[in-house]
Amino acid sequence: MINWFASLPNFSAYGTPSYFIYLLIALIPMGIGLYFGKRFEWYEALISFIFIFFMFDGQSYKQAASLIVYIIYQTCLVMWYFHYRQKQNNSMVFYVTVFLSLLPIIIVKFTPAMVGHNSLLGFLGISYLTFRAAGTIIETRDGAVKDLNWWKFVRFMAFMPTITSGPIDRYRRFSKDYQKVPSREKYLSLLQKAVLYLFIGFVYKFIVDYFFAQQWLPYFQRQAMAHAPHLSWWVVGVAYVYTGDLYFDFAGYSLFAVAISYIMGVETPMNFNKPFLSKNIKEFWNRWHMSLSFWFRDYIFMRFVFLATKKRWFKNRNVLSSIAYMLNMVVMGFWHGVTWYYILYGFLHGLALVINDWWLRYKRKHYKNLKSTKLTKFIAGFITFNFVVFGFLIFCGFLNTLWFSPAAMK
């Protein structure tokens, strides 16, 4: 059975044009139903599970088994806490439940650093599913989730367009979309946007990113490695080209996920909003990977601030916000992986947010008459963009290769 499963073809999400052809053909009956005011839940579930099956079959069969066990585990945990919360609200029970929800991703992220190989629990998309599950527990604690059953939660967790790489949705928002059928005018508007996002996504991922990922980035990396372990101007090229690769690849994928969600009648939140036009680092995080940054903002930053204020841990609110920024971004760094470059990336962005807040307070106090002009906006944007590029150079791990790989040691 395992050999047969491993021999099947594997289709990565949004990886090839043929994938889109099969997917769009499969979605036609669903689209017709939505156009006439009907949501075929059974058909949507069938198509979702079929395409998820082909994402995790072939050589990814171990990930498929992990995915199934993981969803069962999270569903049992979330449903138990939902029923518990109807009668009781003990803080320690809440914290333990959230920890148990986060435990699989903690194991997956720490295993490579501790034992030198990936965890058997890991599968593509576990981070994003963990955020969905933990977020549902937190919203349940807050009393925001009023209605929850196991099938609705499984459909939320296994929503095919976003299962592997987001965007990260919230159960309360998703369930509202899923329980209602958009009007014909609304659905036609969604289809119009979906066509536009698919077109832009194709341009981003299959045309523009081809040059960044396949042509330019390998060239700059080879040239930089020729000077290893010393820094050179080629490393600067790696930084800018990697930034372009990361943006066009991930933004293209996110547009595909949103477009397919729209075709299925669900308004999945957008992930990017012209992030490189940001005038400061705080604005950048309000534009870059928004579903992730907003999750960290709402469930780590804001909750830490609320708890610290309630417990009166800090007398100065500016000190409180600074510590909250650092905590938020360092945790985000650890979430990417337990390596020095991910952790340093989170630390630097936390420090940048602290400095940004300090500068805004200093400017309001000492430069009240300083006006915002096109020149000052350009300077602010230029500084922000180049800091982001520098951060991505650390994030991508190339410096680790440049300095510590066997090739660099020769």
Query: Using CA atoms in the order 397, 403, 404, 408, what is the torsion angle rounded to 10 degrees?
Result: 120
- The Cα 20–Cα 15 span in angstroms is 9
Residue of 83, 336, 349, 366 with catalytic role: 336
Whole-Å CA distances, 108 to 8, 112, 114, 329: 26, 8, 10, 19
- Main-chain dihedrals φ then ψ at residue 182, nearest 5 degrees: -65, 150
The closest alpha carbon to 140, from 161, 124, 156, belongs to: 156
- Residue for token pair 């909750």: 303
**Residue 16 burial by CB count (10 A; 0-12/13-18/19+): exposed, middle or buried?**
exposed
- The Cα 120–Cα 40 span in angstroms is 35
- The Cα 132–Cα 163 span in angstroms is 10
Q: Is 336 considered catalytic here?
A: yes
**Residue 15 burial by CB count (10 A; 0-12/13-18/19+): exposed, middle or buried?**
middle
Whole-Å CA distances, 324 to 1, 298, 346, 394: 50, 12, 13, 22
Q: Is the dihedral of CA 187, 189, 192, 197 positive or negative?
A: negative
Taking phi over 0 as left and psi of -120 to 50 as alpha, with beta for the rest, 397 belongs to left
- The Cα 98–Cα 137 span in angstroms is 7
Whether 126 contacts 95, CB under 8 Å: no
The catalytic residues are: 336
